[in-house]
Structure 1
Amino acid sequence: MAAMSFLSVIERYHEHESVIHELLDSILLGLSDATLFQNGLSDKVFSELAKSYPFVQLLYLLDQDGVQISDNILVLNQKVNREKYGLNTDRSHRPYFTGLIHQQDKRYITSPYLSNTGAGLCISASRRLINSVGDTEIVVIDINLTQLIEFMMGDSARRKMMPIFKGVYSVIVLGLFVLVSVLMWTVIKDIYVLFSQPAKNDPLLPFGIIIFLTLALAIFDLGKTILEEEVLMHKDIFRHSSTRRTITRFISTILIAISIEALLTMFKASLGEKQYLQPAIMMMLAVVGLLVGLGIYVYLGAKAEQLLTQNQQHRYNKTSG
């Protein structure tokens, strides 16, 4: 549940580009009054905007030559601050100005780019407006693209709970690793007995050591999977591939553990312990069943996601066309 990767953000942006542009159009339309940027009493409007659209980072006004003629309206943690350091800055080389001029349209939205303020991926939207004396001015808003995607996917509340989720998963993983340490300590003691008292050893003692090692390996792999999937890596819960990846890794861990246990049980049966023959066969059949089921699940899941992606692409092409 780490932060969304740049790749995930870009993919989501292209999937919902038309909807994102409509949303930004509505915001720009609500800011199509130049007096909002000169009148301090209008900060209430910006405060309401910050509460309704937490992905908005920065707003300012340009003249028709691309020079900033207003303070920077900075939005941080849904609070609005006016900063004068951007006033009179020449922004005529920026893509949201040059694109708007060359496009000869009322508004222009840039492609995603890396913010020079360290805020990650962002996009900027600009719109022409006419002030009270008839001069052309340009309103510009900077958008945090990651927060915008989370807002559109309805994922903002879950993201706020992420530290708690990570903490719980970390405690669970720590408990699993402690259990692995206990199993490894048991293995070390059994290996010491195996070499220090060879005459008194049970012939099945090596198999017991392997069983403990196998359990330690399976538990460690399970803890590692949970740590990677739920704490270290970003997991897009809206994509079937993320869930499929987690289930595949979890089932693979179980398959390896059961396969080794079945093999060891078969060895015990071959050494004369006939009572282990039937359990060994049943475990082998369980391994085959899990493997076949996993193969069917992965295949059908991949086909379903492929059809879903094609359907979304078809709708996007139809909308953009």
Structure 2
Amino acid sequence: YYRAMHEHRCTITDPYPSLLNDDLTVTASQPIFDEHGEIIYVACIDMPLNEVLKIAHPMALESAAGRFFRLGYAGFTLVLSFVSLLLFVKGIEGFLSYGVGHADSIEIKDIFESTILLTLSLAIFDLVKTLFEEEVLGRLKNDHASSIHKTMVRFLGSIIIALSIEALMLVFKFAMTEPAMLVNAIYIIGGVAMLLIGLAVYIRFTNSGERH
């Protein structure tokens, strides 16, 4: 009340325990002015903090459908986490199989394959992190659209890197063993080029939309 009177604008207090039930509560105060700009009175309303959060963040509504979808996202994030972990373990397994002190015996093919697996593991892990924070925990960032945009760019970028490494590995392999199969590597390179073009167009239009 006093803060709204002093600042001549709507104010919201910090959460405090209610005297009625000890639940966290916030008070919103709005000064009402007359035609001369003088304060006539101040309208105040007390609201439980959880109700305020539901208004500010509709995804936090504990409806049956909301709980169902949240459990669904939790299941997907759990499964994807296992996939990411398996890819990570498989990625470092090739190096560990050589043992300590045998770095000179590691083949280039194994390095490429491990890099692909680790890159895919990172991409899936980043996707899991975003799904868990925003869909399961319900933590929306200040710029939700920008957050989704960055996650999409990182995910597609990781896929493009993995495909590029795979194409490079196939080029080396087929060039030395089966030159007639080089066309398959060219197809992958063409797909990577199309993904790069698509990603560039996506970034271009997304950035233009954010500026407007």
Does the alignment reach a TM-score above 0.5? yes
Q: 1:216 Cα shift?
A: 2.1
Map 1:276-291 onto structure 2 (within 5 A): 276-291=181-196
| 1:140 aligned partner | 44
Task: State the structure with more CA Rg.
Answer: 1
Runs of 4+ in structure 1 off by over 4 angstroms are 119-123, 136-139, 142-147, 235-239
> Could you give the per-residue CA deviations for residues 56-104 of structure 1, whole angstroms, max 9, x where no partner exists?
xxxxxxxxxxxxxxxxxxxxxxxxxxxxxxxxxxxxxxxx32432674x
Q: 1:116 Cα shift?
A: 5.7
Pairing 1:156–2:57 present: no
Task: Note if contact 2:80-2:128 (Cα within 8 Å) is conserved in structure 1.
Answer: no
Map 1:1-321 onto structure 2 (within 5 A): 96-100=1-5, 103=8, 109-110=10-11, 114-115=14-15, 124-126=28-30, 140-143=44-47, 148=52, 150-151=54-55, 154-157=58-61, 161=67, 164=71, 165-166=73-74, 168-189=76-97, 191=98, 206-232=107-133, 234-235=139-140, 239-307=144-212
- Which one has the bigger helix percentage? 2
Distance, in Å, in 1 between the alignment partners of 2:70 and 2:83 is: 18
Distance, in Å, in 2 between the alignment partners of 1:188 and 1:138 is: 70
Aligned CA distance change for structure 1 residues 146 and 298 (closer, same or farther; 3 Å):
farther
Distance, in Å, in 1 between the alignment partners of 2:174 and 2:87 is: 29
> Could you give the per-residue CA deviations for residues 262-321 of structure 1, whole angstroms, max 9, x where no partner exists?
1112222333431342122222222221111101011112222333xxxxxxxxxxxxxx
Tell me the secondary structure at the aligned position of residue 155 of structure 1: helix
Q: 1:114 Cα shift?
A: 4.5
Taking CA–CA contacts closer than 8 Å with sequence separation of 6 or more, which of the two structures ends up with the larger relative contact order? 1
Aligned CA distance change for structure 1 residues 146 and 175 (closer, same or farther; 3 Å):
same
Aligned CA distance change for structure 1 residues 144 and 215 (closer, same or farther; 3 Å):
farther
Aligned CA distance change for structure 1 residues 252 and 145 (closer, same or farther; 3 Å):
farther
Tell me the secondary structure at the aligned position of residue 61 of structure 2: helix
Aligned-pair identity in percent equals 20
Aligned CA distance change for structure 1 residues 252 and 125 (closer, same or farther; 3 Å):
same
| TM-score between the two structures when normalised by the length of structure 1 | 0.47
Task: Note if contact 1:240-1:301 (Cα within 8 Å) is conserved in structure 2.
Answer: no
Task: Note if contact 1:268-1:276 (Cα within 8 Å) is conserved in structure 2.
Answer: no
Distance, in Å, in 2 between the alignment partners of 1:273 and 1:242 is: 45
Q: 1:123 Cα shift?
A: 6.0
Structure 1: 5+ residue runs without aligned partners?
Answer: 1-95, 129-135, 199-204, 308-321
Task: Note if contact 1:114-1:122 (Cα within 8 Å) is conserved in structure 2.
Answer: yes
Q: 1:186 Cα shift?
A: 4.3
> Could you give the per-residue CA deviations for residues 37-60 of structure 1, whole angstroms, max 9, x where no partner exists?
xxxxxxxxxxxxxxxxxxxxxxxx
Report the more deviating stretch, 213-222 or 248-257. Answer: 213-222
Aligned CA distance change for structure 1 residues 306 and 124 (closer, same or farther; 3 Å):
same
Distance, in Å, in 2 between the alignment partners of 1:146 and 1:248 is: 34
> Could you give the per-residue CA deviations for residues 240-265 of structure 1, whole angstroms, max 9, x where no partner exists?
33332222111111011011111112
